[in-house]
Structure 1
Amino acid sequence: MAIEGIPKEMTAVQVVEFHKPYKIHKVPTPNSLKEHEILLKTVVASLCHTDSMVTDGKFPTALPCTASHEGTGVVKAVGSKVTNFKVGDRVMSGLPKNPCGTCYNCSGPNDWHQYCENIEGHIGVFVDGAFAEYHVVDSRNSCKIPDGVSSTAAAPLACAGCTIYRALIVSEVKKGEWVAIVGAGGGLGHLGIQFAQAKGINVVAIDARDEALELCKKAGAEHILDAREGKDKLVKYVQDLTDGLGVHASINVSEHETAATTACAVTRMHGIMVQVAQPDKVCIDFKELIFRDIRVKGTLIAGQEYSQQMLEDVAKYNIKVETNLFYGLEEVPKMVDLAHSGKMKGKAVCVVDEEALENENAKA
């Protein structure tokens, strides 16, 4: 399906060579859609740790590839089989694009569909993403942004929010129980603190940077532990809070080499550790894993059903996304510098269409 009424060229931020800075230049605007796709005029796009993994060549990404898998936009055109979106809708971009629809994962529950092994790709990782004036997403994985949730808040939720939200579900922690988040003062962690507490879950926030510990406090965490004090002290603090047992489950969003072991150590025997971070190897001391009968679960992003539920919870519970705003795609290199400085609190977010955002804010 050809698209009319859009410019022939647009500005995009692309990976054109691994281990090199992004290239900001003009590229052709998408001019056709497959049956389940929608074209978004990008309003906001944000930076995620996975973006650096793409530039480092961690994935077999075909280059050039437009960066960012955390986007929001306004629908400008829809494919022939799209029924859940219309022109003018505000949308949080879905990462998975064009799953096969017939494999084991696609035939399973909605929350398995993002694991399709025959998928065309995830935006910003294998196919073009949201650091552009327009981007194409799959209607079966994208979500409508509720009233009361801004595009600047929704963009980081497309990956960071969906990921930590699903991690909480996978952890099986119930209202009134305890969860520890290792790496709680980052983009995912500060959202996890709020999601958990909104569900009545007690949170232990663990991190090792001053800026991160400050963000844990800002996110509302009551129990904040500094990982620099060492594993033994952390375990004692957590056991003192939990009748000597430890938390019911832990979620690890830190890539530090000791983080997975720490997460298991603060978890009670027979509990669950959910691994979200993606270091090259996940290393756990055998005593913390085997002697204590800890179950380890891996998790990726959420499917459409949980992602939409997450957005509704953001609106319902007034979840706050800590953002560092930059205006214009030409500012993306500065976003990268901040992210790599170790001083960033929350998420680096690029306002691509300032006029659209101003109009949105005026209506709020």
Structure 2
Amino acid sequence: MSRTDAQSMNIRAAVLRTSGAPLQIEDVLLEAPRPTEVRVRVVATGVCHTDMVVRDQLFPTPLPIILGHEGAGVVDAVGSAVTTVKSGDHVVMTYMSCGLCLPCETGHPAHCTHMHPLNFGGGRLDGSTSACACGNDHAIHDHFFGQSSFSTYTIANERNVVKVAKQAPLELLGPLGCGIQTGAGSVLNALKVEAGSSFAAFGAGAVGLAAVMAAKVAGATTIIAVDVTPSRLELARELGATHVINSREEDPVQRIHAITQSGVNYSLECSGRSEVLRQAIDSLTTLGTCGIVGATKVGTEVAFNINDVMIPGKRIMGIVQGDVVANAFIPKLVDLYLQGRFPFDKLCKFYEFEEVNQAMADSERGVTIKPILRMPAPASV
């Protein structure tokens, strides 16, 4: 399709052009949705740690690119083959998967064989993009996590849009598509934390605090949050943690073993630090499981005591997006929120779209746990 096709539209998008540089809000031309695609008017989008990881090219992607992968909005147009959503539906956008590989076919789309090219490749699987710079027709990479939601409108696929109830506050829901889903899904779906068990979250950012809330929902009776920021630990208590540990002040492994007498049944490493992963493993009891969700620089390795893992039968599990099927899981989180049992809004602070770089900076400094960018309302509203 020609970039000047009559069905294309002008949008505004935050574009990363140089590694580590501030994002630039630019005029961009967006093509119409293809048969299996959906065009979404973005109402709001979360800012996630992975956006900063890619901005700094610790996870390399082609540049220039439109980032953003926790978008929520209203369906504006659908392709000819789309059957599950229609114009006017409220949706949360999540990660993209192919739907055809063995992991997808067996209920694990977050571990899709094509996860990297579909989410970090800067375009569709065939290499095409939906966006180009206005005035010169130069392609801008997009389809970041299948959505590139740092934009006023975006093209997603029918596979990675999740219809949500219209009574839910749409501008708040975007983070359910990645960070909140990752923390909660890791506890409820991947680790399958059960009632009466013990759980420790290493890192009390958005993912770790979502995990704490989910552990409470699951009925865990010992819920431990580990972090270095007192305000986050205080919030963790408010959200359901029975114990908090400031790892700058005491050894979390020793403290966890003292609290539990033997170690926790489940731990979740959310910080992306190799030394913290070792602590999460060492904090486990016999037959305990450690989940890994923290994003690290490509090539990062960690050492652990092999016998201390093998003999007590500890398990180490890699987890992406909570290993959830988003179309089933995100509506459950919305229901839990509406019931008052999953108050993830306590993590969030709103910013205007033009404040995208400030939102990123505040997240990196720990000032804001989960920034959400509000998009400008359409001119006709």
How high is the TM-score relative to the length of structure 1? 0.86
Deviation, 1:173, is 1.8
Q: Which residue of 1 aligns with 2:137?
A: none
Query: Cα gap change, 1:292/1:279 in structure 2, threshold over 3 Å: closer, same or farther?
Result: farther
Q: Which residue of 2 aligns with 1:115?
A: 112
Distance in 2 (CA, whole Å) between partners of 1:256 and 1:214 is 22
Deviation, 1:48, is 0.6
Per-residue CA deviation, residues 174-230 of structure 1 (Å, 9 max, x unaligned), is 1111111110x2111111111110121231111112232132123232211111234
Distance in 2 (CA, whole Å) between partners of 1:284 and 1:294 is 15
Distance in 2 (CA, whole Å) between partners of 1:224 and 1:113 is 30
Query: Cα gap change, 1:155/1:113 in structure 2, threshold over 3 Å: closer, same or farther?
Result: closer
Q: Which amino acid aligns with 1:48?
A: C
Secondary structure at the counterpart of residue 59 of structure 1: coil
Q: Which residue of 2 aligns with 1:237?
A: 255
Distance in 2 (CA, whole Å) between partners of 1:296 and 1:207 is 21
Q: Which residue of 2 aligns with 1:77?
A: 77
Distance in 2 (CA, whole Å) between partners of 1:118 and 1:256 is 22
Q: What pairs with 1:309-320 in structure 2 (closer than 5 Å)?
A: 309-320=332-343
Q: What pairs with 1:302-341 in structure 2 (closer than 5 Å)?
A: 302-304=324-326, 305-321=328-344, 322-327=347-352, 329-341=353-365
- Answer yes or no: is the 8 Å Cα contact 2:95–2:110 preserved in 1: no
Q: Which residue of 1 aligns with 2:293?
A: 276
Match of 1:212 among 232, 235, 245: 232
Q: Which residue of 2 aligns with 1:188?
A: 207
Q: Which residue of 2 aligns with 1:19?
A: 20
Q: Which residue of 1 aligns with 2:265?
A: 248
Match of 1:285 among 277, 282, 304: 304
Q: Which residue of 1 aligns with 2:44?
A: 44
Among the aligned pairs, what percent are the same residue? 24
Q: How many residues align?
A: 347
Distance in 2 (CA, whole Å) between partners of 1:292 and 1:119 is 34
Query: Cα gap change, 1:338/1:153 in structure 2, threshold over 3 Å: closer, same or farther?
Result: same
Per-residue CA deviation, residues 323-353 of structure 1 (Å, 9 max, x unaligned), is 12112x2111111221222333x20111114
Q: Which residue of 2 aligns with 1:362?
A: none
Distance in 2 (CA, whole Å) between partners of 1:258 and 1:128 is 33
Distance in 2 (CA, whole Å) between partners of 1:178 and 1:207 is 17
Query: Cα gap change, 1:118/1:298 in structure 2, threshold over 3 Å: closer, same or farther?
Result: closer
Q: Which residue of 2 aligns with 1:56?
A: 56
Deviation, 1:93, is 0.6
Secondary structure at the counterpart of residue 105 of structure 1: helix
- Answer yes or no: is the 8 Å Cα contact 1:47–1:349 preserved in 2: yes
Query: Cα gap change, 1:50/1:108 in structure 2, threshold over 3 Å: closer, same or farther?
Result: same
| In the alignment, structure 1 residue 65 sits paired with structure 2 residue 65 | yes
Per-residue CA deviation, residues 266-321 of structure 1 (Å, 9 max, x unaligned), is 21022100011022324243165345432100011133233333333333344222
Per-residue CA deviation, residues 100-151 of structure 1 (Å, 9 max, x unaligned), is x432223322x33652327762266366511111011122232122355322
Per-residue CA deviation, residues 233-273 of structure 1 (Å, 9 max, x unaligned), is x334333443x222111111012332111111221022100
Contiguous gaps of at least 5 residues in structure 1: 360-364
Distance in 1 (CA, whole Å) between partners of 2:302 and 2:293 is 13
| In the alignment, structure 1 residue 173 sits paired with structure 2 residue 193 | yes
Q: Which amino acid aligns with 1:104?
A: L
- Answer yes or no: is the 8 Å Cα contact 2:268–2:291 preserved in 1: yes
Distance in 2 (CA, whole Å) between partners of 1:263 and 1:118 is 26
- Answer yes or no: is the 8 Å Cα contact 1:42–1:353 preserved in 2: no
Secondary structure at the counterpart of residue 76 of structure 2: strand
| In the alignment, structure 1 residue 343 sits paired with structure 2 residue 332 | no
| In the alignment, structure 1 residue 298 sits paired with structure 2 residue 318 | yes
- Answer yes or no: is the 8 Å Cα contact 1:94–1:143 preserved in 2: yes
Q: What pairs with 1:105-184 in structure 2 (closer than 5 Å)?
A: 105-109=103-107, 111-112=108-109, 115-117=112-114, 121-122=118-119, 125=144, 129-168=148-187, 169-183=189-203
Secondary structure at the counterpart of residue 229 of structure 1: coil
Distance in 1 (CA, whole Å) between partners of 2:254 and 2:25 is 50
Query: Cα gap change, 1:317/1:114 in structure 2, threshold over 3 Å: closer, same or farther?
Result: farther
- Answer yes or no: is the 8 Å Cα contact 1:250–1:266 preserved in 2: yes
Q: What is the root-mean-square deviation in Å for CA atoms of aligned residues?
A: 2.7
Per-residue CA deviation, residues 141-182 of structure 1 (Å, 9 max, x unaligned), is 321223553223311111011211221122132111111111
Distance in 2 (CA, whole Å) between partners of 1:147 and 1:9 is 27
Deviation, 1:49, is 0.6
